[in-house]
C-alpha cells in the first residue's frame, strides 16, 4: 500500500458537500428510502465496511464520509485507508457504524462516487508508473463529467497525476479553432498577451514543427504538441531547447505513453483518465 500523496489534498468540504447533497436528493426523490423505512426497525443498528473488491488506487473516501454524515450526522465513519493509497483486492477502506436505515440510504451514492473516483485514480496511477524515470508529468484535461470536475481532478491527484486547467478562466490555451477563427498564430498570441495580466500563462496548440517554430518566436509559455509522433516529439524538444514548456497530447495510452515521455516533453495530457476510466469495484458489507 502506498502512502497518501502529499499533494492529493482533498477539495474543501464546501465544494464537496453540494455535489454529494445533489446526488442524495436525486436518489431519495420525493418519498425517501421507502424500502429501508418499511422493512427495517427504526432503532436497528449495524456496523458496515467499505471494501475494495479489486486492486487499485483509492479516491473518494472523502465523498463517502460526506455522504453518510449528510444522511445521518450521528453515524460513525472511520477511515482505514486514506485517499491516494494503492490497495490490494479485498482491502477494508473504512468502517461505518450506526442506524441501519441510514447506512442503506447512503450506500449507493457513496459507492458511486468511491468507485468512479477510484477508477480515475487507478487509471492515472497506471500512466504515472509507466513514465517513472522521465521528467514527464501526467496531467488531466477538461474532459470531465459535467458537475464533477472538482472531484475528478482530485482523483487524478490521488493517482499521482497533476491538474491542467480547471476551467476556461485559469489560463489562455489557444487551440486550432481559435487560430482559424482569429486569423493565425501571431494574431492570437499578440491579442492574448495584450489582454492578460502577469499571472496568466499562455499556451498554444500546434500540430507541426513549422507552427512550433512560430510559437517559439513569439515567446509563449507552453506549447501543446498535438498528435505528434515520438520522432517529431524528439525534434520538438531539440528545437525548443528550454525556451518553453512542452505538453504532448493525443491518443495517449499505456502502450504509447513511455515513448512519448522519453522524448523529453514536460507534460503528457490525457482525457481518457477522466472520461473513460472504468469504475473500481467497491462494496459496502454489513
Catalytic (active site) residue 42: no
Written as nine digits, the cell of 274 is 477522466
Catalytic (active site) residue 232: no
Please state, in angstroms and rounded to a whole number, the distance separating the CA atoms of residues 27 and 225.
43
Catalytic (active site) residue 214: no
Q: What is the CB neighbour count within 10 angstroms for residue 88? A: 10
Terminal-to-terminal C-alpha distance of the chain: 24
Strand runs labelled E in 100-166: 137-139
In degrees and rounded to multiples of 5, residue 165 shows phi and psi of -60, 140
Catalytic (active site) residue 213: no
Q: Which of 175, 186, 191, 193 is catalytic?
A: 175
Contact (CB, 8 A) for 75 and 28? no
What is the signed CA dihedral for 95, 98, 100, 101, rounded to 10 degrees? -110
Please state, in angstroms and rounded to a whole number, the distance separating the CA atoms of residues 49 and 47.
7
Written as nine digits, the cell of 111 is 459507492
Instruction: Tell me the pairing of strands 56-57 and 86-87.
Output: antiparallel
Please state, in angstroms and rounded to a whole number, the distance separating the CA atoms of residues 80 and 50.
9
Q: Which of 21, 47, 108, 258 is catalytic?
A: 108
Q: Which of 152, 205, 232, 247 is catalytic?
A: 205
Calculate the alpha carbon distances from 114 to 4, 85, 94 in Å. Answer: 16, 13, 11
Catalytic (active site) residue 108: yes
Catalytic residues: 108, 143, 175, 205, 226
Amino acid at each position: 500500500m502506498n502512502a497518501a500523496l502529499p499533494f492529493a489534498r482533498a477539495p474543501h468540504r464546501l465544494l464537496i458537500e453540494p455535489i454529494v447533497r445533489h446526488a442524495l436528493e436525486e436518489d431519495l426523490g420525493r418519498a425517501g428510502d421507502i424500502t429501508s423505512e418499511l422493512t427495517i426497525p427504526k432503532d436497528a443498528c449495524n456496523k458496515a465496511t467499505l471494501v475494495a473488491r479489486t486492486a487499485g488506487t483509492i479516491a473518494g473516501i472523502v465523498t463517502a464520509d460526506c455522504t453518510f454524515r449528510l444522511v445521518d450526522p450521528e453515524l460513525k465513519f472511520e477511515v482505514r485507508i486514506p485517499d491516494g493509497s494503492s490497495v490490494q483486492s479485498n482491502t477494508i477502506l473504512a468502517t461505518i457504524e450506526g442506524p441501519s436505515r441510514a447506512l442503506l440510504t447512503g450506500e449507493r451514492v457513496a459507492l458511486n462516487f468511491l468507485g468512479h473516483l477510484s477508477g480515475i485514480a487507478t487509471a492515472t496511477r497506471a500512466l504515472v508508473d509507466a513514465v517513472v524515470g522521465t521528467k514527464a508529468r501526467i496531467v488531466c484535461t477538461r474532459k470531465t463529467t459535467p458537475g464533477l470536475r472538482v472531484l475528478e481532478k482530485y482523483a487524478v491527484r490521488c493517482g499521482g497525476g497533476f491538474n491542467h486547467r480547471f476551467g476556461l478562466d485559469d489560463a489562455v490555451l489557444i487551440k486550432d479553432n481559435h487560430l482559424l477563427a482569429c486569423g493565425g498564430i501571431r494574431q492570437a498570441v499578440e491579442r492574448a498577451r495584450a489582454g492578460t495580466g502577469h499571472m496568466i500563462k499562455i499556451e498554444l496548440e500546434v500540430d507541426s514543427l513549422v507552427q512550433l517554430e512560430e510559437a517559439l518566436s513569439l515567446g509563449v509559455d507552453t506549447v501543446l504538441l498535438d498528435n505528434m509522433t515520438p520522432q517529431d516529439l524528439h525534434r520538438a524538444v531539440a528545437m525548443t531547447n528550454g525556451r518553453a514548456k512542452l505538453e504532448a497530447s493525443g491518443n495517449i495510452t499505456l502502450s504509447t505513453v513511455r515513448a512519448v515521455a522519453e522524448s523529453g516533453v514536460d507534460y503528457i495530457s490525457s482525457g481518457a483518465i477522466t472520461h473513460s476510466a472504468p469504475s473500481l469495484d467497491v462494496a459496502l458489507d454489513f
